[in-house]
Amino acid sequence: MDNTIIHRIIPILRRLIKKWQPPWVEEVASKTGDPFKVLISCLLSLRTQDRTTGMANKRLFSIASSTEEMKDIPLEAIEKAIYPVGFYRIKAKRIKELSRELVEKYSSKVPDAMDGLLKLKGVGRKTANLVLTLGYGKYGICVDTHVHRITNRWGYVKTKRPEETEFALREKLPKKYWKEINGLLVVFGQNVCKPLSPLCSTCPIRVYCKRVGVKRYR
């Protein structure tokens, strides 16, 4: 698959996903424009369903909405607010430590560059790219399991790990699509191009897809 096909696929995906709920992190970004809330939402969303993440976000931000407030909340209160997100005890501790770090080392401002974000404990490239794109409107390519799986399934890239996929996409994907590719493919991957038995028979872009690694589909 080359970029002449990508230019056809992206508009189709934009129209298609309008019928479904956008990822919760995108909702947080659009409603608040707050890089700190985007960062915390990203951390909560790891290995957790969007609905659970959304409810946990609302509870947590109702008791603390800034780094200064968050660092002073008892750990048990954070745990209670974010339960039952995956690994909620570990995430609660990380949120508290991260808030303190931002206050003490960064004057409460979330770094707006990749290098700075990766220095924060518990922040990897996926989260850093989401903060850059959704929190600051900067260019980045967030690659989660959906982006990794689907771009390989299309035959657009040929990689083994999400981090490899990010750098392959940086080389190949037109820059104007960088900021939106994650949001498009997360929704598409949750509802159509599923990990097991994707819905190929009803997929509007099936004619372009090489179905790499697909052994069974509906």
pLDDT tens per residue, range 6-32 = 999 999 999 999 999 888 899 999 999
DSSP at 215: -
The count of residues in the chain is: 218
Each residue's pLDDT tens digit, 150-180: 999 999 999 999 999 999 999 999 999 999 9
Find out whether 114 and 128 touch, Cβ atoms under 8 Å.
yes
pLDDT band at residue 50 using 50, 70 and 90 as cut-offs? confident
DSSP at 131: I
The alpha carbon dihedral of 140, 146, 148, 151 has a sign of: negative
Q: What is the per-residue pLDDT for 6?
A: 97
Each residue's pLDDT tens digit, 112-148: 999 999 999 889 999 999 999 999 999 999 999 999 9
Distance, CA of 20 to CA of 13 (rounded, Å): 12
Each residue's pLDDT tens digit, 76-112: 999 999 999 999 999 999 999 999 999 999 999 999 9
Each residue's pLDDT tens digit, 195-210: 999 999 999 999 999 9
Find out whether 69 and 78 touch, Cβ atoms under 8 Å.
no
